[in-house]
Every structure is written in C-alpha cells, then in structure tokens.
Chain A
Amino acid sequence: MKHLLSITDFTVEEISEVIAVAEDISKNIYSYSEKCKNKILATLFFEPSTRTRLSFESAMLSLGGKVLGFSDANSSSSSKGESVSDTIKVVSCYSDIIAMRHPKEGAPLVASMKSSVPIINAGDGGHNHPTQTLTDLLTIKTEKGRLDNLTVGFCGDLKFGRTVHSLIQALARQKGIKLVLISPDELKIPDYVKTDVMDKYGMEYIETTSLEKAMPELDVLYMTRVQQERFFNEDDYLRLRDSYILTVDKLSSAKKDMCILHPLPRVNEIAVDVDDDPRACYFKQVQNGRYVRMALIMKLLGVK
C-alpha cells in the first residue's frame, strides 16, 4: 500500500506517470467519471482549508466516488482529545482512501503507520504539502512543455514556505534546473534545504534580494505569501508582509513566455491587474489541482 506524505515518496517516474494521467484527464475529464465508482474518500481537515479540501472532494466526485469527512477539528473527536492514531484507525473502516490536513508536522506519517488505507498528506503545518507540488509540476509541464532545463525563481517567504521546499525537492531530480532564490534576509531558504537537497543534487542556484534584477532570466516565477500563521511574533509578520509585491510594471522586463505561479491564497503579493497578463497561471493551477488529485487518487487506489 502506497501513501503520499512527501513528494519524495514518489520516484521521478511515478511523478511523470501521475502528471501524464492528469494531462489526459484535462483533455477528457468525462471519460474518467466512473473510475472510482463505489470508492469513498475521507477528507480529514484538522485545520481549515477551503481550497485544498474542495479540490480533493471535487476530484473524487469527478471520478464517480463518494466523499465524507470534516473540515474543522472542532467537529471531530480530536476536540475530545482523541489521538490521530485512533481517528485514523476508525476512519480507515469507513473509507478507501484518506486525505488529511493537520496543523502538527508529521501527523500524516503517524496516520500512515496506523492506517489500513492509503493516506494523502493535504498539508501538515509548515512541513509538507505534496499535492500542491504535483499541481505546480503539472502547471509547469503544461505551460512550458517540460520539467527540465528551466530557470525557476522563488520569491517571498522561502523560510517557512513548505510549497517552496517541496517544489525544490521535486525539481532537484530534474536535469538542468537553475534556481533564483529571491527573499529578504529574514526569510531566506533554510540551510538544510541547501545542504540536503540543492547541494546534494548539485543544483545551480543564486540568492538575491532583488526581484527586479532576477526577473529577465526567469522561465518560471513562483510567488509566495508571507503566512501569518507561521509567525509567533506579529511584529515580524507585519514588517515582512509587504517585502515583495509583483506588479505589471515589474513584469515589463520578464520573458514573454514566463509563467507566474502562486499556491494561493494571495494577500497582496501579486497586484490584481497582473491577473489579466497571459503569464499569470495561478488560477490555471487551481484547475490543475483538481486534475492532478484525480490522477493521484486513481494511482493510490490502483485504478487504471
């Protein structure tokens, strides 16, 4: 039985397989409408996330399956003090596959140790969010036609941004990737990501504080939100929140076919008028999230 807790749980080949199925789904979604008939997905969201939960539910419903679950820890037995282990043992009896989000890092790993059905990590605190990474990869593949030989800029919160770390982990296994890491000093990429991922795979990278200087060479620009929930100190959050804001003016020096990604939700880091620029791909990402989660559910359930 296979789980998806971190993007590194999948080989490059497995990722390619999921992306290929997702691309096919995007062309003819209705041919997949009965692939998971009679299967049940449990969505266990111990912290709120409308987008990811709805994406999973939409994915399962589009495959002809059914969905049950909760969207808030207060409406589950965890509010009575039930452990993750016990919750998972119970829900395993009611479902064929589980997607879970939990504020504590590593909760999905604990779940996978106790579960009798596949576990999908739908986000565990500031740790991993592998289905967002699959979404990002599908969007890059769709927009650029490849996942290798790209210059990818990451901008904003590179310290706490779990989607950034996961995507770097996935890109590290592709050939010819150059990273441009754009952030204030306080939110630079952690050293362990450099040593354990970027240096380990021999990735070429530069660190800069200037989005404008980095812009002309980028094939992909991955914007991030400075997330208030990752800060213990509100003053630090307020000081860094407005560090980097992408505007139409700043895009004037970008390549014509650059692709702008953002895991959403945004606050103010991308000006609203950028949405009309053909390079803005972040709402396409949302659509791709549904396709890639459909492909993932099929893979983990062993459905062809």
Chain B
Amino acid sequence: MNIDAIKNGIVIDHIKAGKGMEIYNFLNLGELDCTVALIKNVSSKKTGKKDIIKIDASIDLNFEVLGYIAPEVTVNVIKNGETVQKVRPEPPKFLKNVIKCKNPRCITSVEQGIDQCFKLTDSGVYRCIYCESKAKN
C-alpha cells in the first residue's frame, strides 16, 4: 500500500503498533482540514510492527500530550520534502487539562471550573495534584 510522501508537514513515527488511533484522538487530528494518514501495522526492523501518522500541514503539535501518552515516538518535521527536525517528546512534568481524574472521591468529580492537573512524581507516575490518585487514560 502506498501513502504519498508529504512535502510540508509532520510525520509521527515509531508509534507502538495499535496506539496510533489513541494518539490521533488525543491530538484531535480528526478536527484538522488537511490530509491526515494513520497507517497501522507498518513493518519495522526494530519492533516488528509500528504505526505511523502523517499530517500534510505544518501544525503546532501538542508535545505535552505526545510526551505523556507516547514518549517513545519520533516526530519528523518535513519542509520542502526534507526532514529538517527530529524530535523525541519528553514526558512533561505537569499536565493541565489533558486527562481527567477518575477517582470518584476527588474534588474534581464535583467542583465546576477547576483545571484537571497532574504532576510527574519521582517514581515516573502521573498523579492528580488534588487527590494524588494515579492517572488512568
């Protein structure tokens, strides 16, 4: 199957096989007007299979979201058909309004108008700043 190379845009590569749609949804790529390709189960020398997302436009990618859900990916920025930048997203120290706390005892389950915030702990786990419950997607 052939997917056209893009001239100006972004390629999110090395996505763990099966995780492409989750990233697509988290980044709200369905709302873009440009061509977006989600390619699943591409052959990979390293991992056997991987997913790839190609976005045919230069957009401001939310690296905070990407660093949280898929820090293993590589983001290639394409200009005039050439890769001009490769970025590995870092897990952010703080997440604001990316995910919601699932703890029914947390104040965020009832209080209107407060931000959903999580911080990265020393053990590498994201915890709600209010109730300190572990983040769940």
Chain A residues within CB distance 8 Å of chain B: 83-85, 102-107, 109-110, 124-127, 192, 195-196, 200
Chain B residues within CB distance 8 Å of chain A: 103, 105-114, 121-123, 125, 127-134
Q: Which residues of B contact A106 (CB under 8 A)?
A: 106-108, 128-132
Number of contacts between A and B (CB, 8 Å)? 60
Q: Which residues of A contact B106 (CB under 8 A)?
A: 104-106
Select one of B123, B128, B129 contacting A195, CB under 8 A: B123
Complex CA gap A192/B113 in Å reads 29
* Contact A109–B130 (Cβ < 8 Å): yes
With both chains docked as a complex, state the minimum distance between the C-beta of B128 and any C-beta of chain A, in angstroms: 7
With both chains docked as a complex, state the minimum distance between the C-beta of B106 and any C-beta of chain A, in angstroms: 5
Q: Which residues of A contact B111 (CB under 8 A)?
A: 83-85, 104, 107, 110
* Contact A126–B105 (Cβ < 8 Å): yes
With both chains docked as a complex, state the minimum distance between the C-beta of A221 and any C-beta of chain B, in angstroms: 27
Most buried by B among A106, A125, A127, A196: A106
Complex CA gap A103/B111 in Å reads 12
Q: Which residues of A contact B112 (CB under 8 A)?
A: 83
Complex CA gap A186/B54 in Å reads 48
Select one of B103, B122, B128 contacting A200, CB under 8 A: B122
Q: Is the interface of A mostly helix, strand, loop or mixed?
A: mixed
Select one of B103, B125, B128 contacting A192, CB under 8 A: B125
Complex CA gap A102/B127 in Å reads 20
* Contact B129–A104 (Cβ < 8 Å): no
* Residue of chain A at shortest CB distance from B132: A127
Q: Which residues of B contact A195 (CB under 8 A)?
A: 123
Q: Which residues of A contact B123 (CB under 8 A)?
A: 192, 195-196
* Contact A104–B125 (Cβ < 8 Å): no
Q: Which residues of B contact A109 (CB under 8 A)?
A: 107, 129-130
Select one of A85, A103, A105 contacting B130, CB under 8 A: A105
Complex CA gap A1/B110 in Å reads 27
With both chains docked as a complex, state the minimum distance between the C-beta of B90 and any C-beta of chain A, in angstroms: 21
Complex CA gap A253/B107 in Å reads 45
* Residue of chain A at shortest CB distance from B109: A104
Q: Which residues of A contact B108 (CB under 8 A)?
A: 106
With both chains docked as a complex, state the minimum distance between the C-beta of A47 and any C-beta of chain B, in angstroms: 12
